[in-house]
A = this chain, B = another copy of it.
Amino acid sequence: MISRKQFYTLAEPLKLWRGGSLYPVTIAYETWGELSPERDNVILVLHALTGDSHAAGKYSEDEDKCGWWDPLIGPGRAFDTNRYFVICSNVIGGCQGSTGPSSINPETGYPYAMDFPVITIQDMVAAQVELLKALGINKLLAVTGGSIGGMQAIEWVIRYPDWVENALIFGALPKTSPQSIGFNAVGRQAIMIDPEWKGGKYYPSPGPVAGLSVARMVGMITYQSYEGMWIRFGRKLATRPTTYSPLGEKFDVEGYLEYQGYKLTQRFDANSYLYLTRAMDLYDASEGFDSELEAYDRIRANILLVGISTDWLYPPHEVKAFANQLRDLGKNAVYEELDSIHGHDAFLKEWEQMTRIITLYMENLGDEAHYVTSPLGDGELIK
């Protein structure tokens, strides 16, 4: 499946959740499948922290790698592009085609760097609303995503209840925990202590690659599990070439983390990392409402919440508790659990389970019976 990155520039300035506005705003996006004449078959896919609009397919036949959710999106796949029109856009604040801190500030002619405004999950979703309107869409059959993508899905169902009919949310919660904020703070500090960061004004040089690499290393640990890392790395020594070590031979897990850190620096802007982790920290779905109850009670979509058995960043019992909270409010919420050793990252790895869960849910859209009869957390949707 060949995919093509497209761009849309908003006609008006985007008003920002924390005040001020951003202009111009360009959004990079990709689509798969065909929009139905009734425009009622749209699935909006929302990417995670360092993801992009390239959720499926390849940009050219000779590419090795497909998009990050490719096994789930395509003809005959869980999000079946023979039936659905699937859209994925890059978040604003990012660096994969949408406007972010590395974009040119029209007031200065130079990249924004830290003059870029603080961006929130609310703003990311507001930009998506504008993109969809421009595409002639005002209804989403489903929104879906994991991690910070799942947070955007939560924002969608609360802030735009008239838009969304169904939401499939993986490894996400309506507010970021202080532990996550702490890990994000570590990553940001690592970037900002790198002398190449230069207060953010490092463009066009690659900037704080060492700092961003450390930020990615800590992130990668939090996306995995204690058990999974034992199985994958154990206490094996590194075999791949590693950076300078004054402390003797390195462990395989160190070499892996350093390599992952390096890899991110080849495709990601450090300032975007600062802004996007901050957006994550700031997210509390009930912000602007009198209470969580008032916020959650706005939801009209059917919601599938999927926890991951070994996710300690978004613990499954918390995801389940959120599902229960929604059910207590009379909402149509189902909890499912991915049984995985992969930790938080499981929604990007457990293709069989993901396919089973999504397919079953998508096949039964509109058939409400199976939602209410599905026991919470038994790992099986009952039709």
Selected contact of A200 from candidates B177, B186, B200, B246, CB within 8 Å = B246
Q: Does A104 contact B (CB under 8 A)?
A: no
Q: Which has the most chain B C-beta neighbours within 10 Å: A185, A224, A226, A275?
A: A185
Taken together as a complex, chains A and B put the C-alpha atoms of A217 and B193 apart, in Å, by 13
Partner of A178, one of B188, B230, B246: B230
Contact residues of A between 193 and 222, Cβ < 8 Å to B = 193-195, 199-200, 210-211, 213-214, 217-218, 220-221
Q: Is A179 touching B226 in the complex (CB atoms < 8 A)?
A: yes
Q: Report B-chain residues with C-beta under 8 Å of the C-beta of A183.
A: 218, 221
Q: Are B175 and A257 in contact (CB under 8 A)?
A: no
Docked Cα-Cα span, A200 to B247, in Å, equals 12
Cβ of A372 within 8 Å of any chain B Cβ, yes or no, is no
Check A178/B214 contact, CB under 8 A, given A193-B190, A195-B195, A257-B185. no
* Interface pair B235/A175, CB less than 8 Å apart: yes
Q: In the complex this chain forms, how many copies of it are found?
A: 2
Contacts of A252 in B (CB 8 A): 178
Q: How far is the CA of A177 from the CA of B221 in the complex (A)?
A: 12
Contact A254 B217, CB 8 Å, known A190-B190, A235-B175: no
Q: Which residues of B contact A114 (CB under 8 A)?
A: 246
Number of interface residues of A (CB under 8 A): 54
Q: Closest approach, in angstroms, between the C-beta of A176 and any C-beta of chain B? A: 8
**A253 is contacted by which of B182, B213, B217, B254 (Cβ under 8 Å)?**
B182
> What is the bound-complex CA distance between A315 and B18, given in angstroms?
40
Q: A275 touches which one: B185, B247, B278, B284 (CB < 8 A)?
A: B247
Judged by a CB distance under 8 angstroms, whether A13 is at the interface is no
Interface hits, A219-253 → B, CB 8 Å: 220-221, 224, 226, 229-230, 232-235, 246-248, 251-253
Docked pose: A200 CA to B244 CA in angstroms: 13
- Complex CA gap A18/B18 in Å reads 56
Q: Which A39-58 residues sit within 8 Å CB-CB of chain B?
A: none
In angstroms, Cα B211 to Cα A254, docked, is 18
> CB of A334 within 8 A of chain B?
no
Given the interface pairs A182-B253, A254-B182, A275-B247, the reply to whether A229 lies near B177 with Cβ below 8 Å is yes
Contacts of A257 in B (CB 8 A): 182, 185-186
The answer to whether A193 and B178 have CB atoms under 8 Å apart is no
Residue A274, interface by CB 8 Å: yes
In the complex, A189 has a CB within 8 A of chain B? yes
A182–B218 Cα gap in the complex (Å)?
8
Q: A232: which B residues are within 8 A, CB to CB? A: 178
CB-CB under 8 A from A217, the residues of chain B are: 182, 185-186, 189
A181 at the interface (CB under 8 A from B): yes
Smallest CB separation, A152 vs chain B (Å): 19
A32 within 8 A of B: no
Take A114-B246, A189-B258 as given contacts and tell me if A178 and B213 are in contact as well, using a CB distance cutoff of 8 Å.
no
Q: Show 27 residue pairs from A and B whose CB-CB distance is below 8 angstroms, ordered by the A residue.
A: A118-B248, A175-B235, A178-B230, A179-B221, A179-B224, A181-B235, A181-B253, A181-B254, A183-B221, A185-B251, A186-B186, A186-B217, A186-B221, A186-B257, A188-B247, A189-B210, A189-B214, A189-B217, A189-B261, A190-B190, A190-B193, A193-B194, A193-B210, A199-B246, A200-B246, A226-B312, A251-B281
New contact pairs (8) apart from A182-B217, A247-B278, CB-CB < 8 Å: A118-B248, A177-B226, A182-B229, A185-B253, A186-B218, A186-B221, A226-B315, A246-B274
In the A-B complex, the 5 residue pairs with the closest CB atoms: A193-B210, A178-B233, A178-B253, A178-B229, A114-B246
